[in-house]
Structure 1
Amino acid sequence: MAGIYDLYGITDTDIDTAARLLPDALGLPFEPHESSFWGDYYSVRTENYDEHFSLKENYNVMEEDWNWSQFKHYPLMLEVSIDGKTMKRARELEARLLQTMGKKIILLKRVEFAS
């Protein structure tokens, strides 16, 4: 089965506000986490662990560097990992994110891989 990795850039909002908006699009509650590497971030997995969403600051204060330096103009990044699903599911999630977040979110990268 295939897997899909999407990377979205988010502008015009802070991480806490984005974490409150994203559940409207995805129907999943984002949980706050702390990491000595990533800093504060939010994530959620579906009940059967086939989809994982992670919302992080692009600038890593702990490392004093960008996590995704090629996307410096996006202060927030949303990583979406979908295992064992089709491209149709990735497009569905993209449409829901765009509907909820509007121009604040953009798909920057999509990779399909064998899982």
Structure 2
Amino acid sequence: MNVYDHYGVEKQDVGDVVRLLGEMLKVCFLPHESGFLGEYYLAMGEGGASYRLIRNFSDNEWQEEDFKECVWLLEANEVVEPDVLMVLLSGLEEIKFLYRSEVEEGSWMRRYVFVDGKLEMIREVVV
């Protein structure tokens, strides 16, 4: 099963965001370019974890329209201890946990939000 956590970052300046997240996650974000995502930042972490930082609004399109207050989106993939990361990042005023996706390839995908101190499943899709 693969776990993907999504966070919103309300800070505007990408330099500040990259520095803050790099220090907290103990990783180095490097700039990348994509025809689909535009400019984004990627970092590799412990145990095969990866972190991708993308603009929420790019090329006149929202990545996460329900979270327009978030300038940047952080995708944390395959983190060794995702719940520990969620507590760490959610402790910051400018970062908020958006949702978690769990994927069992060829079987199902589940989406969770954090409600009343626990993860609550809001959707399950069988594939």
TM range (shorter): 0.7 to 0.9
Conservation of the 8 A alpha-carbon contact between 1:26 and 1:97 = no
- Does 1:70 find its partner at 2:74? no
Letter in 1 for 2:3: I
Shift of 1:60: 1.1
**Structure 1, unaligned stretches of length 5 or more?**
none
Specify which of 87, 93, 103 is matched with residue 95 of structure 1.
87
* 1:9 matched residue in structure 2: 8
Offset of 1:96 from its aligned partner? 2.6
Question: Relative contact order (C-alpha < 8 Å, sep 6+): which is higher?
Answer: 1
TM-score normalized with structure 1 length: 0.80
What does residue range 1-115 of structure 1 map to in structure 2 within 5 Å? 2-46=1-45, 50-61=48-59, 64-82=60-78, 85=80, 89-99=81-91, 102-114=92-104
Give distance in 2, aligned partners of 1:8 and 1:51: 15
Cα RMSD, aligned residues only: 1.8
Q: TM-score, normalised by structure 2?
A: 0.73
Q: Which 4+ residue blocks in structure 1 deviate beyond 6 angstroms?
A: none
Q: Identity, % of aligned pairs?
A: 30
**Higher-Rg member (1/2):** 2
